[in-house]
Structure 1
Amino acid sequence: MPSLDIVSQVDLQEADNAVNNVVKEVATRYDFRGVHTEIKLNRKDKVISIVTGDEMKIKALREMLIAHFTRRKLDSKCLEFKKHEATSQGQLKQDVAIKEGISKEMAQKIVKTIKNLKLKKVQPAIQDDQVRVTAKQIDDLQTVMQTLNNADFDLPLQFVNMKR
């Protein structure tokens, strides 16, 4: 029976490249001259730390991050921007979490969406942080993939391990 896995993963190397490109762009931008700006990716915790001068610069960095993630073919839905806070040096700090994996609640929404299609012989099953879908025909799996791509979930979904 054909099957596929629905996952939410982020290529950390591409995320690192996107962050490095933002650092290079900040170094050349006129509006960041004379302002201490720091952007770091903690690969272990999957958190991007931003420290800069004021709220406008935080917004500019946010837009740059989203743009560079998109250029690197990473979905910007995986970025979760936390609230910014003041530092002791009079600057602002913001953490950006990189979301990976499908939570239990989101997996249940995905399963419900698949079951609402009312396709015969299509069975979704939640397995840890992914959803496995098995079907009698490969066309049914493609219908499921198309429906989930068009649905608006708050995280990027990838389809892996498609077996015939």
Structure 2
Amino acid sequence: MPSFDVVSKVDMQEVDNAVNQAVKEIEQRFDFKGSQNEVTLEKDAILIVAADDYKLQAIIDILKGKLVRRGLSPKCLDFGKKEPASNMAVRQRIAIVQGIPKEKGKDIVKLIKDTKLKVQAQIMEDQVRVTGKKIDDLQEVIQALKGADLDVELQYINMRS
């Protein structure tokens, strides 16, 4: 029976490359000279320490731009709250979301059922498997999911016929 998996995975090597490019740009920019700004990649998060709110927002914009240029969606970022750091600086932790959360998985299954196509969708840990008798129905499901605004970046893998 034809099937495919709906997943949300982030290529961490591309995230690392984007962070490194952002750090280089920050070091080069005139408006950041003489101020303490840091962007570090942790295991599953990016930590930004900036001299003030304006610089923090500028760093986030630079980082988003670098991610988009490397083919990653900013939807994979989950912004934590801003908190004060030493020397009047601000710190923000940005989690990198891997996998589809349960609530989003339920939304995806509901969206698939609303298409009224003859397919079945089931949540399997952090992914959703869709099966059906016709490949055309599966392709319609993919188009429906691409058209939906789900606040999570989706990939479609393991298409089996």
Normalised to the residue count of structure 1, the TM-score between the two structures is 0.96
The question of 1:2 aligning with 2:2 is answered yes
**Number of residue-to-residue matches in the alignment:** 161
Deviation at 1:124, TM superposition (A): 0.5
Query: CA separation in 2, counterparts of 1:158 and 1:38?
Result: 31
The question of 1:155 aligning with 2:152 is answered yes
Query: CA separation in 1, counterparts of 2:160 and 2:12?
Result: 26
Query: CA separation in 1, counterparts of 2:79 and 2:101?
Result: 18
Query: CA separation in 2, counterparts of 1:91 and 1:104?
Result: 36
Partner residue, 1:113 = 111
- One-letter code aligned to 1:150: G
1:149 is paired with a residue whose SS is helix
Query: CA separation in 1, counterparts of 2:101 and 2:39?
Result: 28
Q: Structure 1: 5+ residue runs without aligned partners?
A: none
Query: CA separation in 1, counterparts of 2:116 and 2:85?
Result: 53
Deviation at 1:89, TM superposition (A): 2.2
2:35 is paired with a residue whose SS is coil
Aligned-residue CA RMSD (Å): 0.7
- One-letter code aligned to 1:151: A
Normalised to the residue count of structure 2, the TM-score between the two structures is 0.98
Deviation at 1:83, TM superposition (A): 1.4
Query: CA separation in 2, counterparts of 1:55 and 1:162?
Result: 45
Which range moved further: 82-91 or 128-137? 82-91
Partner residue, 2:100 = 102
Give 1:9-48 correspondences, 5 Å limit. Answer: 9-43=9-43, 46-48=44-46
Moved over 3 A (4+): none
1:49 is paired with a residue whose SS is strand
Partner residue, 2:86 = 88
- One-letter code aligned to 2:129: R
Superposed CA deviations along residues 23-57 of structure 1, whole A, max 9, x for unmatched, are: 000010000000111110012xx110001100000
Query: CA separation in 2, counterparts of 1:109 and 1:65?
Result: 29
1:21 is paired with a residue whose SS is helix
Partner residue, 1:143 = 140
Query: CA separation in 2, counterparts of 1:38 and 1:105?
Result: 33
Query: CA separation in 1, counterparts of 2:75 and 2:140?
Result: 23
Query: CA separation in 1, counterparts of 2:32 and 2:150?
Result: 35
Deviation at 1:81, TM superposition (A): 1.4
Q: Structure 2: 5+ residue runs without aligned partners?
A: none
Partner residue, 2:131 = 134
